[in-house]
Amino acid sequence: MRTDITLRGDDSEQFEKLKKARAEKRHGNEPSNAEMLRLLMEDYDGPEVRGGLTR
């Protein structure tokens, strides 16, 4: 399954700020968009809601 998401305006700016903040915590290693979204979903729902998938 594949889901495409497009962010514009303030939503896009906020997403990029969150990505940069995560990159700073990872010593400059910026997550991909897909990885960042997974991290945000995990923060929101917790790792147990991911259908049993683990990283």
- 1-55 pLDDT, tens digit per residue, is 989 999 999 999 999 999 999 999 999 999 999 999 999 999 888 666 555 555 5
Examine residue 39 and state whether it is found in any structural domain, yes or no. yes
Examine residue 49 and state whether it is found in any structural domain, yes or no. no
pTM, 2 dp: 0.74
pLDDT of residue 45: 83
Domain interval for residue 24:
9-44
pLDDT of residue 39: 93
Domain count, the chain: 1
Question: CA of 40: how far to CAs of 9, 26, 43, in Å?
Answer: 19, 15, 5
Examine residue 13 and state whether it is found in any structural domain, yes or no. yes
State how far the Cα of 16 lies from the Cα of 37, in Å rounded to an integer: 11
pLDDT of residue 43: 87
Examine residue 14 and state whether it is found in any structural domain, yes or no. yes
28 Rama class: left (phi>0) / alpha (psi -120 to 50) / beta: left
Examine residue 22 and state whether it is found in any structural domain, yes or no. yes
Examine residue 37 and state whether it is found in any structural domain, yes or no. yes
